[in-house]
Structure 1
Amino acid sequence: MYKTVMLAHGAGGKQTSELIDQVFKAHFSNPDLTADDAAVLSIAGGKIAFTTDGFIVSPYEFPGGNIGKLSICGTVNDLSCMGAKPLYLSCAFVIEEGFPMEKLEQIAAAMEKTAKEAGVRIVAGDTKVTGKGQVDNIFITTTGIGQIMAGANTSGKLARPGDAVIVTGDVGRHGCAVLLARNEFGIDADITSDCAPLWDTVKQMFNTTKNIHVIRDATRGGVGTVLYEIAGQSGVGICLDAEKIPVAGEVSGICSMLGLEPLYLACEGRLIVFTPKEEAQSVIKTLHECPYSRNAAVIGEVTSDMPGKVIMKTAIGSQTLLPQPGGELLPRIC
């Protein structure tokens, strides 16, 4: 075990899992503690989903959004992944002394607009102001509650051999947009974050079929990390078809230049969906009719071979093991 916390512990990969297992799970373990995007809790009259998330993106503005929009989307999407209609959010701000009031207004306005689109109310909050240098501009934490739809039952533990693996759009866009917004590489490319609230997308999928086993949003660590998490939770193997994974040409170009793998770059408006093969085409048809998933695609399938592993079928027909994510490629993307 590491003697100090490293940046890699917040990247969403192997070190994050180790930190959760060795520290937080070891102390917080209880029947309701979850490895999914939100806890599912029973109450009188049904079930709710409950989640919380911290946002420390740098820079706090990026093409396609800012930390305010991101904070709403992240929590709304975590609830949605459990089949829950987002109802209420709280938000906590930690703001550095000297932060421009005009920028704070813009962040609050983005939160208002995104919450309205998602149909969720911000009902409580907290504000702290720190001394100069104690926080990098502004951090936001949001907590959300949602009502789980009748018949919805999703979890990373429910993937089954024979399931189709669907991604709801091109991958790696958010991570790439944030990377370029830092102006560290002198690269000029027109890449916009995919940051979006996805409750309506999930609702439309469940209106098509309740036979959906897993929904996850591919945030920290991207699609590759999420697939490894699901493979481990369910004790299954996952086989991907490299040629079917949608990647925007500009994102692919940047990744080639910088030696990055799009599957490990963050998305903030993309879902990974596992559903039986016989349901896959109807789900894809529905996704293509939703504004944030018009290029959704089946990218692979769940197998009983090599449980806990993700295999990639290449363009020439060979198979290779997708490396298990680890380390810190792109800090501060959410």
Structure 2
Amino acid sequence: MEEKILLSHGSGGKQTNSLISDLFLKYFNNEIINELNDSAQLKLDSSKIALTTDSFVVNPIFFKGGDIGKLAVCGTVNDLAMSGAKPRYLTSAFIIEEGFPVEKLETIVKSMADAAKEVGVQIIAGDTKVVEKGGLDGIFINTSGVGTIYENVNIKANNAQVGDMVIVNGTLGDHGMTIMCQRSGIDIEGELKSDCAALNSLVDSMLEVCPDIHVLRDATRGGVAAVLNEIADISGVSIELEESSIPISEEVKGCCELLGLDPLYIANEGKLCCFVPENYAAEVLEAMRKHPLGSNAAIIGRVVEKVSQKVYLKTIIGGKRIVDMPSGQQLPRIC
């Protein structure tokens, strides 16, 4: 195989077939994709499914804690898990710039295959397009995912209720700050790296102790601030946060202070917000802390009223401030 991607790799001829057989099928090998049909034929054991799609354009494509391939799999799996669904199948489409090194492409594809295997999903269909050099920055990936929704689960963004406790599964802002520092050449002491991870097994542990979880959302672009404002608006409630309870690593705190940023607005790729009834909060928190992806889980606030539709923060010094929906571009190309 050539060392770099050529326009002919996207032409549908011999080189396209070679790329598919020698690279993609090498790592995405399973009985469904190996049939090479124009569409995958699936049999799902549920009458209720979740379907999601996402695109990944992160810059840089390789970063501490992951790469665009791992991010594509984990991000799509997480969108399914946030609906109370068991992720089953993924599709993946690659848009590649002419001249992109095949060695890097293989690293990305292998990363996707490894992440999918760890999660227990199959990549069953895909597509490859090659654009002229300068048409995009390296590689973009689009993924779609299908999952079967567990019975007796009603997790929706408009389901937050007065009295619900708001829980996150760990420190905030790790992914976004990692990308910003790496992109800008800022060298930070410590263990700062992306939190990129698939959260479906964590959600399973949570649902075991509380099938009545009201809301689940992964806090990606816009961070926790964006997610909580969306939920407050859709559910028609107000949310009160406790600044002293919000878990943030010392590395992220230091970077935010240096750059004048608020960790609540920084992107995550392995963090979720959940809204649970108060009487289940302690059990859910305990279950999360027993899981490797929830060891730093914390209750950070509660739903306080069925009016106003706002999010506000009780500060360490005793004041209050509104946490608005983010605007503008803090960190472009974060995922």
Range of TM-score over shorter length: 0.7 to 0.9
Alignment of 1:257-272 (within 5 A): 257-272=258-273
Q: Does the 8 A contact of 1:159 with 1:274 survive in 2?
A: yes
Q: Does the 8 A contact of 2:46 with 2:148 survive in 1?
A: no
1:207: which partner in 2?
208
1:217: which partner in 2?
218
Within 2, Cα distance between the matches of 1:189 and 1:97? Answer: 37
Within 2, Cα distance between the matches of 1:305 and 1:326? Answer: 25
Alignment of 1:317-332 (within 5 A): 317-332=318-333
Shift in alpha-carbon separation, 1:256–1:93, aligned structure 2, 3 A: same
1:119: which partner in 2?
120
Give how far 1:323 is off: 2.8
Within 2, Cα distance between the matches of 1:186 and 1:250? Answer: 11
RMSD: 1.4
- For each residue in 1:209-242, what CA deviation from the matched residue of structure 2 results, as whole angstroms up to 9, or x when unmatched? 1110000000011111000000000000000000
SS at match of 2:270: coil
2:293 is aligned with 1:292:
yes
1:301: which partner in 2?
302
SS at match of 2:184: coil
1:75: which partner in 2?
76
2:235: which partner in 1?
234
Q: Which protein shows a greater Rg?
A: 2
Within 2, Cα distance between the matches of 1:188 and 1:318? Answer: 32
Q: TM-score, normalised by structure 2?
A: 0.85
- For each residue in 1:92-112, what CA deviation from the matched residue of structure 2 results, as whole angstroms up to 9, or x when unmatched? 000001111111111011101
Gaps of 5+ in 1: 1-42
Identity between Structure 1 and Structure 2 (%): 50
Which residue identity lines up with residue 116 of structure 2 in the other structure?
Answer: A
Within 2, Cα distance between the matches of 1:190 and 1:77? Answer: 24
SS at match of 1:257: helix
SS at match of 1:46: coil
Q: Does the 8 A contact of 1:180 with 1:188 survive in 2?
A: no
Give how far 1:44 is off: 8.8
Alignment of 1:145-294 (within 5 A): 145-185=146-186, 190-294=191-295
2:142: which partner in 1?
141
1:54: which partner in 2?
55
The runs of at least 4 consecutive aligned structure 1 residues that moved more than 4 Å come to 184-189
- For each residue in 1:276-327, what CA deviation from the matched residue of structure 2 results, as whole angstroms up to 9, or x when unmatched? 1110010000001111110000000001165321010011222111133111
Shift in alpha-carbon separation, 1:62–1:304, aligned structure 2, 3 A: same
Within 2, Cα distance between the matches of 1:44 and 1:84? Answer: 12
SS at match of 2:294: coil
- For each residue in 1:123-146, what CA deviation from the matched residue of structure 2 results, as whole angstroms up to 9, or x when unmatched? 000000111110110000000000
Within 2, Cα distance between the matches of 1:244 and 1:63? Answer: 27
Within 2, Cα distance between the matches of 1:224 and 1:152? Answer: 25
Q: Does the 8 A contact of 2:239 with 2:303 survive in 1?
A: yes
Give how far 1:187 is off: 5.2
SS at match of 2:54: strand
Which residue identity lines up with residue 135 of structure 1 in the other structure?
Answer: L
Aligned residues: 292
Shift in alpha-carbon separation, 1:45–1:332, aligned structure 2, 3 A: closer
- For each residue in 1:27-78, what CA deviation from the matched residue of structure 2 results, as whole angstroms up to 9, or x when unmatched? xxxxxxxxxxxxxxxx995210000000000000100000000000000000
2:327 is aligned with 1:314:
no
1:87: which partner in 2?
88
Within 1, Cα distance between the matches of 2:278 and 2:72? Answer: 33
SS at match of 1:176: helix
Gaps of 5+ in 2: 1-43
Give how far 1:270 is off: 0.4
Within 2, Cα distance between the matches of 1:165 and 1:45? Answer: 30
Within 1, Cα distance between the matches of 2:235 and 2:307? Answer: 12
Q: Does the 8 A contact of 1:170 with 1:295 survive in 2?
A: yes
Q: TM-score, normalised by structure 1?
A: 0.85
Shift in alpha-carbon separation, 1:58–1:45, aligned structure 2, 3 A: closer
Within 1, Cα distance between the matches of 2:175 and 2:241? Answer: 22
Q: Does the 8 A contact of 2:229 with 2:324 survive in 1?
A: no
Which residue identity lines up with residue 182 of structure 1 in the other structure?
Answer: R
SS at match of 1:320: strand
Q: Does the 8 A contact of 1:255 with 1:261 survive in 2?
A: yes
2:64 is aligned with 1:63:
yes
